[in-house]
Amino acid sequence: MMGPAHSLSGAAAWLGVGAAVAAAGHPMPWPVLVVGALICAGAALAPDLDHKSATISRAFGPISRALCGIIDKLSHSVYKATRGHGDPRRNGGHRTLTHTWLWAVLIGGGASALAMTGGRWAVLGILFVHLVLAVEGLLWRAARTSSDVLVWLLGATSAWILAGVLNEPGNGADWLFSDPGQEYLWLGLPIVLGALVHDIGDALTVSGCPILWPIPVGRKRWYPLGPPKAMRFRAGSWVELKVLMPAFLVLGGLGGLGALEFI
């Protein structure tokens, strides 16, 4: 799928989780619901770090473009080193390493560890990166026609304000993980969810997605998981634009209302 659809699906997924955990007796304070949805929207772009032309490659100028090139080569190297007898040869690393459940868990776990051990500046850094990505995905038309510096300033300002709101007593710094020293441990959850939602979205397209790697399926270690081919669509097609994106908006709205009902 394209960047805007990925971001919308990420935000909708976190709002849906908010409704589910609220019904289970662990309601999210509203700042956690809002910040988590924005982080998840940004994280839903991150697996495309292996693609030089993806939305994320433009988010931080030459830094993100260079990083995408590095991740592309790394992913391609991992693919070549681990491919099974049934896996085809490839010329690049797109939709390989960064499009797996293992990558999602490692990135989310790393973010949680960084947030707990790095203090306020680490939290601000995590928020800044994902809020910039959320702007690039959710407000993509405005982001493409405005200055990168304005997008970065919006991300930095929003990160500073939201971090302050979260840090107020009862606003969710310790949501779900309440023991001393576990503040902001939950920040990794929307990152994992965003990456997995991205992978599921890509699995619906023609090429499928190797979400299960390194678990082998038959003779393939990079099995392109997806529905029957007749049910798949091309990225950027009318199915994505006219069906899925409106559906994500509706589902996200319903999830948000369900979550807020219990606060």
pLDDT computed for residue 263 by the predictor: 62
pLDDT cut 70: percent of the chain above it: 99
pLDDT computed for residue 166 by the predictor: 93
Per-residue pLDDT tens digits for 7-17: 999 999 999 99
Place of tokens 């971090």: 163
pLDDT computed for residue 3 by the predictor: 82
Residue 102 region, left (φ>0) first, then alpha (ψ -120 to 50), else beta?
alpha
Q: How far is CA 39 from the centre of its chain?
A: 7
Q: Say yes or no to pLDDT of 143 above 80.
A: no
Q: What CA–CA distances, in Å, run from 140 to 16, 34, 37, 170, 259?
A: 23, 19, 17, 33, 27
**pTM for this prediction:** 0.93
* Residue 246 to residue 110: CA distance in whole angstroms: 33
Q: Are 67 and 49 in contact (CB under 8 A)?
A: yes
Q: Say yes or no to pLDDT of 239 above 90.
A: no
Per-residue pLDDT tens digits for 91-139: 888 999 999 999 999 999 999 999 989 988 999 999 999 999 999 989 8
Per-residue pLDDT tens digits for 152-197: 999 999 999 999 999 998 888 889 888 888 889 999 999 999 999 9
Residues comprising the chain, all counted: 263
Per-residue pLDDT tens digits for 193-210: 999 999 999 999 998 999
pLDDT computed for residue 173 by the predictor: 87
Place of tokens 């592309």: 72
Q: Are 132 and 247 in contact (CB under 8 A)?
A: no
Q: Are 162 and 35 in contact (CB under 8 A)?
A: yes
Structural tokens at position 121: 């500046």
**Which ranges of the chain would DSSP assign to H, the alpha helix?**
3-23, 30-43, 55-59, 62-82, 101-138, 140-145, 148-167, 188-203, 238, 245-260
